Amino acid sequence: MTQATDKSRVLIFDTTLRDGEQSPGATMTHDEKLEIAEMLDDMGVDIIEAGFPIASEGDFNAVSEIAKRSKNAVICGLARANFKDIDRSFEAVKHAAQPRIHTFIGTSELHRAIPNLTMDEMADKIHETVTHARNLTDNVQWSPMDATRTEWDYLCRVIEIAIKAGATTINIPDTVGYTAPMESADLIKRLIATVPGADDIIFATHCHNDLGMATANSLAAVAGGARQVECTINGLGERAGNTALEEVVMALKTRHDIMPWHTGIDTTKIMNISRRVATVSGFAVQFNKAIVGKNAFAHESGIHQDGMLKNRENFEIMLPEDVGLAGTSLPLGKHSGRAALRDKLEHLGFELGDNQLKDVFVRFKDLADRKKEVFDDDILALMRVGADAESARLKLVTLRVACGTGGPAEATLVMDIDGAEKTAIEKGDGPVDASFKAIRKLHPNTARLQLYQVSAVTEGTDAQATVSVRLEEDGNIATGESADTDTVVASAKAYIHALNRLLTRRGKTGEDEKEISYTDH
């Protein structure tokens, strides 16, 4: 049954590769974008917003390649309200079996002031641009940006214009995460009841999480009549992020009794894509994040464990298997072979080719030599970090640090820079500071440290530490991640990883830059 005939079907529009990727520091490479798009298509996402084609050559190429490779999903490209953006968007998505142009303009009083347009001038622009898009394809989405702060009469007026000009989906963005559930439901309900032609199109909801209400607001909008939810994996996105896909989908599945709508998502693919997005974006998932956090299905307190043993429903409202979490399995060790590792990886949802497995096996052996038991979380950390180390221009060769009481720490660090080994000895305020100074000595740079974060992967004093480092240089932001049983080594590797990512970005001038503004029209 199609969405047009099945009134209980909610379309899932994923914007991880557009709104998510635009989050500072979350930039993904071309290949990573293709991989994520394939995973989204495989899990049953209805519409993939693959990027903002006018933003850069890199964005354009990624969107058009995703369009060419698409299987079932509609592929959508974002465009501001001008012909050049719209043409570029269509050029990129036209290769898809089902292309969509998504064009938008800020309609609230505050946003109208940016291009300095009167209400009438903006209304004309909306008519012209939606008509232009509709002449290119019959699948056009239009968004009044900052809709939830737009005057009611004007919002109705411009939506009517967009529908008459041929928009087939009207998206209602809560751009600054300002609305609340009752208001969100009411807004969609009133729009459907008021705007002429509303019954012939689909209303979408696009919420940001500034007040922590994005999922609630999206579900409320569905209750009000929206049949497309815009979201991202892990809630990735600027500021507090977008609505999390996994939360909406699992809420609809788990509470079908009071929310009688359904999606086409294969929920068992959720964990795998969540991990992959965390890795490629550099945005780790918080431990207590709903659905995909490390602790989301952990019932560790004594009372809970007792209750769980008696009946898992006492404390578990969803089955871990439903989100693709296989039950925990036996740890590996230094005698485990390649077949055992392959088995474990498959159990965790990774299917690797022989060459990839070979690379992971080398890193696994190295870890197993230092750590008695290698748990699932260690393997996941191994998969998250270091995969691109081989092709990197900067590599850590050795690091020795002398530290303790009675003086500054001293790091002796050897780094391979474009194939040549170089050594630096630096003192610092603690081992991490000394190591970072040594790296800067060998690879002078002006990158500013924005974030340095350490967390233990498992319990025990031999646990691996994962370290995230976020750097900013000339407006470019890059996040590096690493894991090691030695926190200082993990820190140095994470710093080098972030520097490598900055170098890649610099090398591909224009490819990943997002200097283009959403408010220029």
The site that binds ligand KIV (CB under 6 A) totals a number of residues, namely 9
Residues in the chain: 521
Least separation in angstroms between CB 395 and Zn ion? 38
- The residue (of 178 and 452) whose beta carbon lies closer to ligand KIV is 178
- CA dihedral sign of residues 241, 247, 251, 253: positive
Cβ distance to Zn ion smaller for residue 216 or 490: 216
Helices (H), 94-213: 109-112, 119-136, 152-165, 181-194
- Distance between CA 207 and CA 240 in Å, rounded? 11
Q: How is residue 18 annotated by DSSP? A: I
Contact of residue 246 among ligand KIV, Zn ion, none (CB under 5-8 Å per partner type): none
Site membership for ligand KIV, residue 173 (CB under 6 A): yes
Closest approach, Cβ 247 to ligand KIV, in A, equals 18
Kind plus residue range of the DSSP H or E element containing 483: strand 476-484
Q: Measured from the CB of residue 177, what is the shortest distance to ligand KIV in angstroms? A: 9
Backbone phi and psi for residue 446, each to the nearest 5 degrees, phi listed first: -105, 15
Task: Kindly indicate which of the ranges 32-40, 169-177, 183-191, 250-258 contains the residues binding ligand KIV, using the contact rule CB under 6 A.
Answer: 169-177
In the complex with Zn ion, the residue whose CB is nearer, 19 or 378, is 19
Is residue 207 within 8 Å of residue 214, measured between CB atoms? yes
Q: Which stretch binds Zn ion (CB under 5 A): 13-21, 23-31, 277-285, 317-325?
A: 13-21
Among 19, 46, 378, 426, interactor with ligand KIV by CB under 6 A? 19
3-state secondary structure (DSSP) of residue 54? helix
Nearer to ligand KIV, 87 or 322 (CB): 87
Distances (CA, A) of 400 to 284, 365, 404, 413, 441: 28, 21, 13, 7, 16
Residue 145 interacts with, from Zn ion, ligand KIV, none (CB under 5-8 Å by kind): ligand KIV
Which among 88-96, 167-175, 285-293, 490-498 is the span making contact with ligand KIV, rule CB under 6 A?
Answer: 167-175
Residue 19 lies near Zn ion (rule: CB under 5 A): yes
Both structure tokens of 497: 């990883």
Residue 19 or 59: the one with the smaller Cβ distance to ligand KIV is 19
257, amino acid identity: D
Query: Which DSSP category does 136 fall into?
Result: H
Which of Zn ion, ligand KIV, none binds 143 (CB below 5-8 Å, type-dependent)?
Answer: ligand KIV
Q: Which is nearer to Zn ion, 122 or 172 (CB)?
A: 172
Question: Least CB distance from residue 83 to Zn ion, whole Å?
Answer: 23
Least distance to Zn ion, CB of residue 242, Å:
6
404: helix, strand or coil: coil
Min dist CB 143 to ligand KIV, Å, is: 4
Q: Kindly tell me which of 232 and 272 has the beta carbon lying closer to Zn ion.
A: 232
Q: Does 104 bind ligand KIV (CB under 6 A)?
A: yes
Q: What is the DSSP letter of 462?
A: T
Q: C-beta of 102: minimal distance to ligand KIV in Å?
A: 7
Q: Residue 235 burial by CB count (10 A; 0-12/13-18/19+): exposed, middle or buried?
A: buried
SS3 471: strand
Nearest to 202 by CA among 215, 188, 212: 188
Contact criterion met (CB below 8 Å) for 126 and 81: yes
Q: Which is nearer to ligand KIV, 242 or 279 (CB)?
A: 242
Range in contact with Zn ion (rule: CB under 5 A) among 12-20, 258-266, 319-327, 504-512: 12-20
Q: How many residues belong to the site for Zn ion (CB under 5 A)?
A: 1
Cα 497 vs. chain centroid, distance in angstroms? 19
Rounded Cα distance between 355 and 360, Å, is: 9
175 binds ligand KIV (CB under 6 A): yes
And the tokens for 410? Answer: 């001293």
Burial class of residue 337, CB neighbours in 10 A (0-12, 13-18, 19+):
exposed
Residues 204-263 that bind ligand KIV (CB under 6 A): 206, 208
Residue number with CB closer to Zn ion (19 or 426): 19
The residues in 185-214 that bind ligand KIV, with binding defined as CB under 6 A, are 206, 208
46: partner contacted, choices ligand KIV, Zn ion, none (Cβ within 5-8 A by kind): none
Please choose which of Zn ion, ligand KIV, none residue 104 contacts, taking the beta carbon within 5 to 8 angstroms, the exact cut-off set by kind. Answer: ligand KIV
Place of tokens 């995460």: 177
What is the H or E stretch that residue 87 is in? helix 83-93
Nearer to ligand KIV, 42 or 87 (CB): 87
State which of positions 121-150 bind ligand KIV (CB under 6 A).
Answer: 143, 145
Beta strands in 331-447 (DSSP E): 394-402, 409-417, 420-428
User: From CA 37, how far away is CA 48, in angstroms rounded?
Assistant: 7
Q: Which stretch binds Zn ion (CB under 5 A): 18-26, 91-99, 272-280, 321-329?
A: 18-26
Contact yes or no for 282/470 (Cβ under 8 A): yes
Least distance from Zn ion to the Cβ atom of residue 43, Å: 21
29 binds, among Zn ion, ligand KIV, none (CB under 5 to 8 A by kind): none
Sign of CA dihedral 51, 52, 57, 60: positive
Residue nearer to ligand KIV on the CB measure, 247 or 481: 247
- Give 177 or 225: the residue with its C-beta nearer to Zn ion: 177
By CB under 5 A, residue 49 contacts Zn ion: no
User: Measured from the CB atom, is 52 or 90 closer to Zn ion?
Assistant: 52
Report how far Cα 69 is from the mean position of its chain's Cα atoms: 20
The binding site for ligand KIV (CB under 6 A) comprises 19, 104, 143, 145, 171, 173, 175, 206, 208
The binding site for Zn ion (CB under 5 A) comprises 19
